[in-house]
Amino acid sequence: VPLLLENQGLLDVLTEALSLSTEPVAADIPNNRSMTRWKNMASEVDLLAAAEGDVVVRIALIGKYTGLSDSYLSVIKSLKHASIEVGRELKISWVDASSLVEQTVSEEGDGGHSGAERKNAWEMVRSAHGIIVPGGFGSRGVEGKVAALKYSVPCLGVCLGFQSMVIEYCRNVLGMEGANSVEFEAETKHPVVIFMPEIDEDSMGGTMRLGSRDTSIGGGKWGQDGPSKGNEENTISYWLYDQQKKVAERHRHRYEVNPEMINKIESAGLHFTGRDAETYSRMEILELPRSVHPFYVGCQYHPEFKSRPLEPSPPFLGLLLASCGKLDNFLEVAKTSSVPSKKCRA
| Straight-line distance from the first to the last Cα atom of the chain, in angstroms, rounded to the nearest whole number | 26
Task: Provide the pLDDT for residue 44.
Answer: 81
CA–centroid distance for 25 within its chain: 32
CB 108 within 8 A of CB 140: yes
Q: Is 13 exposed, middle or buried (0-12, 13-18, 19+ CB in 10 A)?
A: exposed
Note the pLDDT of residue 23.
Answer: 67
Would you state the pLDDT for residue 67?
A: 81
- CA 90 to CA 59: how far, in whole Å? 7
The neighbour count for residue 8, using CB atoms within 10 Å, is: 10
* Residue spans of the chain under pLDDT 50: 30-32, 104-107, 343-346
**194: Cα separation from own chain's centroid:** 21
Helices (H), 86-174: 115-126, 142-148, 160-172
| Interval 258-278: pLDDT, tens | 999 999 999 999 999 999 999
Considering only CA atoms, which of 48, 52, 50, 32 is closest in space to residue 40? 48
From CA 66, how far away is CA 85, in angstroms rounded?
25
Q: Which of 48, 36, 54 is nearest to 80 (CA)?
A: 48
pLDDT at 207: 73
Specify the pLDDT at position 12: 86
Q: According to the model, what pLDDT value does residue 224 have?
A: 84
- Identified catalytic residue from 159, 170, 299, 324: 159
pLDDT in tens, 278-322: 999 999 999 999 999 999 999 999 999 999 998 999 999 999 999
Distance CA 293, CA 131 (A): 13
Predicted TM-score of the model (pTM): 0.87
Angle at 72 between CA 106 and CA 102, to 5 degrees: 30
Predicted local distance difference test score (pLDDT) of residue 134: 95
Cβ(129)–Cβ(79) under 8 Å?
no
Q: Is 302 a catalytic residue?
A: yes
- CA nearest neighbour of 110 among 144, 133, 76: 144
CA distance 77 to 95: 17
Locate the DSSP E strands across the chain.
56-63, 89-96, 130-133, 155-158, 180-181, 191-195, 209-217, 222-223, 226-227, 246-253, 255-257, 271-276, 283-287, 296-299
User: Which is catalytic among the residues 85, 304, 324, 344?
Assistant: 304
